[in-house]
Amino acid sequence: GAVVSQHPSRVICKSGTSVKIECRSLDFQATTMFWYRQFPKKSLMLMATSNEGSKATYEQGVEKDKFLINHASLTLSTLTVTSAHPEDSSFYICSASRDGGTSGRRGETQYFGPGTRLLVL
Amino acid sequence: DQQVKQNSPSLSVQEGRISILNCDYTNSMFDYFLWYKKYPAEGPTFLISISSIKDKNEDGRFTVFLNKSAKHLSLHIVPSQPGDSAVYFCAASADAGGTSYGKLTFGQGTILTVHP
User: What strands, in cross-sheet order, belong to the sheet with A67-73?
Assistant: A4-7, A19-25, A76-81, A67-73
Q: What's phi and psi for A110, nearest 5 deg?
A: -105, 115
Q: Cβ–Cβ of B89/A97 closer than 8 Å?
A: no
What pLDDT shows up at residue A37? 95
Annotate chain B with three-state secondary structure: CCCEECCCCEEEEECCCCEEEEEEECCCCEEEEEEEEECCCCCCEEEEEEECCCCEEEECCEEEEEECCCCEEEEEECCCCHHHCEEEEEEEEECCCHHHCCCCEECCCEEEEEEC
Q: Read off the pLDDT band of B75 (50, 70, 90).
A: very high
- A10 at interface of B, judged by CB pairs closer than 8 A: no
What pLDDT shows up at residue A102? 47
Q: Read off the pLDDT band of A85 (50, 70, 90).
A: very high
Q: Cβ–Cβ of B46/A107 closer than 8 Å?
A: yes
Residues in chain B closer than 8 A to A71 (CB atoms): none
What pLDDT shows up at residue A4? 94
- A28 at interface of B, judged by CB pairs closer than 8 A: no
Name which of B87, B88, B104, B108 to mutate to probe chain A: the one with the most chain A Cβ atoms within 10 A of its Cβ: B104
What pLDDT shows up at residue A63? 93
pLDDT over 60 (residue B99): no
Please give the helix or strand (H or E) that residue A119 lies within, else none.
strand A116-120
